[in-house]
Amino acid sequence: MNPLRSLWDGFGQAVWLDYIERELVTGGGLQRLVAADGVRGVTSNPSIFHQAITGGEAYGEAIDALLAERPWLSTSELYEALAIEDIRAAADVLGPVYEQSEGGDGFVSLEVSPRLAADTAGTVDEARRLWREVARPNLMIKVPATPAGLPAVEQLIADGINVNVTLMFSLGHYEAVAAAYLRGLARAAEPAWVASVASFFVSRVDTAVDAELEALDTAEALALRGRAAVANAGLAYRRFREIFHGDAFAALRRRGARVQRPLWASTSTKNPSYPDVKYVEELVAPETVNTIPTATLDAYRDHGRPRNALAEVADASMAELDRIRRLGVDIDRVTEQLQVEGVAAFARSFDQLMAALEAARLLRAGS
């Protein structure tokens, strides 16, 4: 059996694609991934849109058409028009998954501007506007798990807007996000029709922690390379089970509310000495999502070995991280810095995308 399909059929883990591009959607590629591999969702971010829109000629005709019809469009309006077309088209492909799952899956994510990461009111306003513009029930608005983002998450959930909370790197981030979700659900008029995922970043944790372990250059430190990220995710998964299968969620569950599934993000392998499917194979667990880049998706289809891996080790994760801490690696500091860097990286990608679109707009305006 296809290992990708086995993740859902055998273990209750949804596979989402961490990529969006117009030809993939309009040319039938996404539909084939849904039909053959059981892909159940799509995520996007400013880096992905920058890669897609500036990576070739796929968007040239669309830009020409938009500017011919509406030459007054600003650069940000041009970007938004392109992105919304892609998101709507992908949401329509995944519509049957959404309907079959009765609103539990089949989502496509669109991120608010990373420039709003420290602006609660601005995030809420933009999220509401994008929700209205896309006008698809299987849209998820992506909001970063920053101090300003968390109250925005609560308000959007209360509004009945699906939210993908992104850029989480630590157990503390996860607990704050889950709490915001619960507060929002408690205020929602119809909690049964609100969905959310908590996007927990993985491989970047190993990259950062491994660098500090290598700097120590002891046998014990070097033996712990490649262990922090999965252990860190294991802590979040264990806390997920405690929160959403315990008393804290019981009353909301009776009102039909859905659990906020952990979503494993940044699951491509950065270190070439590690298995290319490490952050898929080691993160399999029920009631979770793994959003997978195309190359990693292809690799796992080819040689993945599905097993209930994360649930088996989640309870031992604290001991694993304690071993790393005893060597002097401050994991809390590392994960806080990773969130800061993640917000900054998305902002850079967004600015680069805006610059490329501005150049294209000016070129066409002058031609």
Mean pLDDT of 289-306: 97
- Give yes or no for a contact between 138 and 110, defined as CB atoms under 8 angstroms apart: no
User: Which pLDDT band, with edges at 50, 70 and 90, does 167 fall under?
Assistant: very high
Mean pLDDT of 232-261: 96
The pLDDT assigned to 194 comes to 98
- The rounded distance, in Å, linking the Cα atoms of 192 and 248 is 16
Q: Are strands 107-111 and 288-292 parallel, antiparallel or unpaired?
A: unpaired
User: Which pLDDT band, with edges at 50, 70 and 90, does 56 fall under?
Assistant: low
Residue 225 has pLDDT above 80, yes or no: yes
3-state secondary structure of 46: helix
**What tokens were used for 167?**
């850029």
**Which residue would you say has higher pLDDT here, 325 or 365?**
325
Mean pLDDT of 48-67: 78
270 is catalytic: no
Q: Which residues contact 311 (CB under 8 A, 6 or more apart)?
A: 237, 284, 285, 286
* pLDDT, tens digit (0-9, with 9 covering 90-100), for 310-364: 977 777 888 989 999 999 999 999 999 999 999 999 999 889 888 988 887 777 6
- The neighbour count for residue 198, using CB atoms within 10 Å, is 29
User: Which pLDDT band, with edges at 50, 70 and 90, does 230 fall under?
Assistant: very high
The string of DSSP letters for 303-362 reads H-----HHHHHGGGHHHHHHHHHHTT--HHHHHHHHHHHHHHHHHHHHHHHHHHHHHHHH
Q: Which residues contact 151 (CB under 8 A, 6 or more apart)?
A: 120, 180
**Which residue would you say has higher pLDDT here, 174 or 45?**
174
The pLDDT assigned to 356 comes to 83
**What tokens were used for 353?**
């995308």
Q: Among residues 22, 50, 88, 142, which one is catalytic?
A: 142
- The rounded distance, in Å, linking the Cα atoms of 132 and 126 is 10
- The rounded distance, in Å, linking the Cα atoms of 140 and 155 is 14
**Which residue would you say has higher pLDDT here, 87 or 66?**
87
Structural domain count of the chain? 1
* pLDDT, tens digit (0-9, with 9 covering 90-100), for 68-98: 888 888 888 989 999 999 999 999 999 999 9
**Which residue would you say has higher pLDDT here, 45 or 240?**
240
User: Which pLDDT band, with edges at 50, 70 and 90, does 55 fall under?
Assistant: low
**Is residue 108 included in any domain, yes or no?**
yes
**Is residue 367 included in any domain, yes or no?**
no
Q: For residue 312, give the nearest of 201, 234, 227 by alpha carbon.
A: 234
- Give yes or no for a contact between 264 and 309, defined as CB atoms under 8 angstroms apart: no
Of 131-135, 213-217, 325-329, 354-358, give the lowest mean pLDDT range. 354-358
The pLDDT assigned to 360 comes to 76
**Is residue 290 included in any domain, yes or no?**
yes
- Give yes or no for a contact between 356 and 82, defined as CB atoms under 8 angstroms apart: no
Of 58-62, 205-209, 334-338, 362-366, give the lowest mean pLDDT range. 362-366
- The rounded distance, in Å, linking the Cα atoms of 87 and 90 is 5
- In the chain, what percentage of residues exceed pLDDT 70? 98
The string of DSSP letters for 266-296 reads --S--STTS-TTHHHHTT--TTEEEEE-HHH
* CB neighbour class for 278 (10 Å; exposed up to 12, middle 13-18, buried from 19): buried
What predicted TM-score, i.e. pTM, was given to this entire model? 0.95
State the number of CA atoms in the 13 A half-sphere of 174 facing the CB: 27
For residue 259, the one-letter residue type is: V
266 sits in the region (left: phi over 0; alpha: psi -120 to 50; else beta) called left
* pLDDT, tens digit (0-9, with 9 covering 90-100), for 11-28: 999 999 999 988 999 999
Place of tokens 């399999």: 284
Work out the end-to-end distance of the chain between its first and last CA atoms, rounded to an integer number of angstroms.
54
The pLDDT assigned to 367 comes to 53
- Average pLDDT, rounded, for the chain: 94
- In the chain, what percentage of residues exceed pLDDT 90? 80
Mean pLDDT of 195-204: 98
Of 28-42, 56-70, 134-148, give the lowest mean pLDDT range. 56-70
**Is residue 301 included in any domain, yes or no?**
yes
- The rounded distance, in Å, linking the Cα atoms of 127 and 162 is 10
**Which residue would you say has higher pLDDT here, 42 or 367?**
42
Q: Quote the domain boundaries for residue 35.
A: 3-362
- The rounded distance, in Å, linking the Cα atoms of 33 and 24 is 10
**CATH number of the structural domain spanning residue 310:** 3.20.20.70
CA 263 to chain CA mean position, Å: 6
Q: How far is CA 152 from CA 108, 177, 251, 339, in A?
A: 19, 11, 23, 17
Mean pLDDT of 153-158: 98
